């Protein structure tokens, strides 16, 4: 029924500008970040690296066992609120 108010709801909460909570887990600890669904995950990796005192280029993120690329976003990976990203330090031989 129309009540004169515009319908601004996103039934699934997955609009490009909606926020998502992502938990980053590493062997040394974890952190929770709230970002927009269209934010490139490179930015999240750099924020996490700064938080733990590492160089962002030495960290690798994994989501559902697959490596997260710099240009990936929560929307492109179909992430849901509360999903977990694993953080690993890249080994150089």
Exposure string of 5-21, with b = 16+ CB inside 10 Å and e = fewer, is eeeeeeeeeeeeeeebe
| CA atoms within a 13 Å half-sphere pointing along the CA-CB vector of 70 | 5
Under the banding of pLDDT at 50, 70 and 90, the label for residue 8 is very low
* Topology adopted by domain 19-89: Ubiquitin-like (UB roll) (3.10.20)
pLDDT digits (tens, 9 = 90+) for 50-92: 998 888 888 999 999 999 999 999 999 999 999 999 999 877 6
Q: Bigger pLDDT: 49 or 14?
A: 49
**Per-domain boundaries in the chain:** 19-89
Under the banding of pLDDT at 50, 70 and 90, the label for residue 19 is very high
Under the banding of pLDDT at 50, 70 and 90, the label for residue 2 is very low
Under the banding of pLDDT at 50, 70 and 90, the label for residue 1 is very low
């Amino acid at each position: 029924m129309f009540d004169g108010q515009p319908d601004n709801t996103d039934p699934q909460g997955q609009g490009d500008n909606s926020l998502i909570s992502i938990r980053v887990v590493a062997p040394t600890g974890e952190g929770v970040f709230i970002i927009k669904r269209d934010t490139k995950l490179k930015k999240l990796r750099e924020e996490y690296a700064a938080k733990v005192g590492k160089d962002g280029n030495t960290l690798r993120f994994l989501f559902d066992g697959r490596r997260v690329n710099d240009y990936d976003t929560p929307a492109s990976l179909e992430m849901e609120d509360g999903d977990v990203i694993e953080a690993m330090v890249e080994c150089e031989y």
